[in-house]
Amino acid sequence: MKQALLVFIGGGLGSVARYLLSVKFNNYENGIPFGTLLANILGSLFVGIIFGYMARTGNLSEKHSLLLAVGFCGGFTTFSTFIYENYTFVKDGDYFSFLPYLAVTFILGFAALFLGLYLTTKLF
């Protein structure tokens, strides 16, 4: 039950952080929702740092992983929102927003994950 509580707390904090980014940066009238994009890229970076740090140092326990990676990053990243936003672009025929948003999210998401893993080799 403690594990579920850690995921719950982390997920709540991640969801609030994502909401604040969306309020600040999403502007659906002008194309790409940058708040969602930023949440997904930062979440990928965070996961890379968390798991890279764990692999490199062994200092994070399963509880830390549940709180930070599963909970916070799970609540912070926005795959369902990302999919809905892409659906809306396609439905509206806005391929000039759909294709770059899709490509940039995947490319920068992977790049951020690898950057997080790399940074842990230099920092820890």
pLDDT digits (tens, 9 = 90+) for 3-51: 999 999 999 999 999 999 999 999 877 778 999 999 999 999 999 999 9
Residue among 77, 72, 9, 54 at smallest CA distance from 1: 9
> What residue type is assigned to position 16 of the chain?
V
Look up residue 85 and give its two tokens: 């936003």
Look up residue 54 and give its two tokens: 């764990």
pTM: 0.87
Whether residue 78 has pLDDT greater than 90: no
Residue among 102, 111, 115, 113 at smallest CA distance from 47: 113
Residue 58, phi-psi category: left (phi > 0), alpha (psi -120 to 50), beta (remainder): left
pLDDT of the residue at 9: 97
Query: What is the average pLDDT across 70-93?
Result: 93
Kindly report the average pLDDT of the chain as a whole number.
93
The C-alpha atoms of residue 88 and residue 65 are separated, in whole angstroms, by 34
pLDDT of the residue at 98: 95
